[in-house]
């Protein structure tokens, strides 16, 4: 079975045709439970998310701030496994038809086996992977199997990336480019800043791929600001915090659905 890179591409193209940015939501698998995590993905999609990233919980997440680390710890203590990540992708995709990607560090894929991981992700209906710590120069094996299985390879660029490096990264990627809005870890912030806009401009000069901005967006106003210069707005910590702060799972689902609705309005006010 082929993965859903084409669905991802057509979804982002359709959003662009509506003259707005895509809302891309991030939630970790297995949080607060595997079943609860699946329902949370369905809730953010019901609220208005166009694309969803499923985090593969990791014990040493270099890009993730304290909010996502807390959720990852809950998921890991609950015994989440890669099979649960694949189940989350499958059930969310089958229920909604929305493109679902996995965001993961390289070590779990390396240990699991690249061919096995890509084959299972494609079979589950996944659209691809975001790989924040896989260097492009070491990505040939991954890209070979991802291409074979119809999966996008999304690399992360940062404000520190030089123009020549940006060109190398974007030439190797597919689906979209993940532009980190600042140097640092994930988390909600008072301001997304001008660094992100400059990075998007420099990245666009190297590629036709959509450029989507993550790290720091937490409300409709920030979403509207980023939507003014980016093809997609990626929100993770704000959704996870809404779940963590909720008194129970039902309230958490209501909270992330409501937040997705507010952010979906924000990306339409570019």
Catalytic positions are 53, 64
Local structure of residue 159 (DSSP, 8 states)? T
CB 7 within 8 A of CB 100: no
Task: Give dist(CA 238, CA 192) in Å, integer.
Answer: 14
- Across 28-44, b (16+ Cβ under 10 Å) vs e yields bbbbbbbebbbbbbbbb
Task: Give dist(CA 185, CA 187) in Å, integer.
Answer: 7
Task: Give dist(CA 167, CA 206) in Å, integer.
Answer: 5
Q: How far apart are the first and last CA of the chain?
A: 37
Closest CA to 132 of 168, 102, 104: 104
């Amino acid at each position: 079975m082929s993965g859903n890179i084409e669905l991802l591409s057509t979804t982002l193209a359709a959003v662009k045709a509506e003259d707005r940015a895509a809302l891309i939501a991030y939630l970790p698998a297995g949080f607060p439970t595997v079943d609860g995590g699946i329902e949370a993905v369905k809730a953010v999609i019901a609220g208005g998310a166009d694309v969803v990233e499923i985090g593969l919980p990791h014990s040493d997440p270099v890009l993730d701030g304290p909010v996502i680390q807390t959720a990852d710890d809950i998921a890991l203590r609950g015994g989440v496994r890669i099979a649960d990540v694949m189940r989350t992708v499958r059930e969310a995709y089958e229920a909604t038809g929305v493109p679902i990607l996995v965001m993961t560090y390289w070590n779990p894929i390396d240990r699991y086996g690249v061919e096995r991981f890509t084959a299972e992700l494609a079979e589950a209906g996944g659209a691809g992977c975001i790989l924040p710590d896989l260097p492009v120069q070491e990505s040939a094996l991954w890209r070979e199997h991802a291409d074979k299985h119809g999966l996008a390879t999304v690399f992360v660029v940062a404000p520190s990336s030089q123009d020549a490096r940006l060109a190398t990264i974007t030439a190797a990627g597919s689906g979209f480019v993940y532009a980190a809005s600042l140097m640092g870890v994930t988390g909600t912030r008072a301001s997304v800043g001008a660094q992100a806009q400059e990075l998007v401009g420099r990245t666009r000069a190297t590629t036709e791929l959509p450029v989507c901005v993550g790290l720091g967006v937490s409300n409709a106003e920030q979403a509207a600001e980023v939507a003014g210069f980016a093809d997609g707005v990626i929100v993770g910590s704000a959704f996870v915090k809404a779940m963590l702060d909720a008194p129970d799972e039902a309230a958490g689902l209501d909270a992330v659905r409501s937040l997705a609705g507010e952010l979906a309005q924000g990306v339409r006010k570019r």
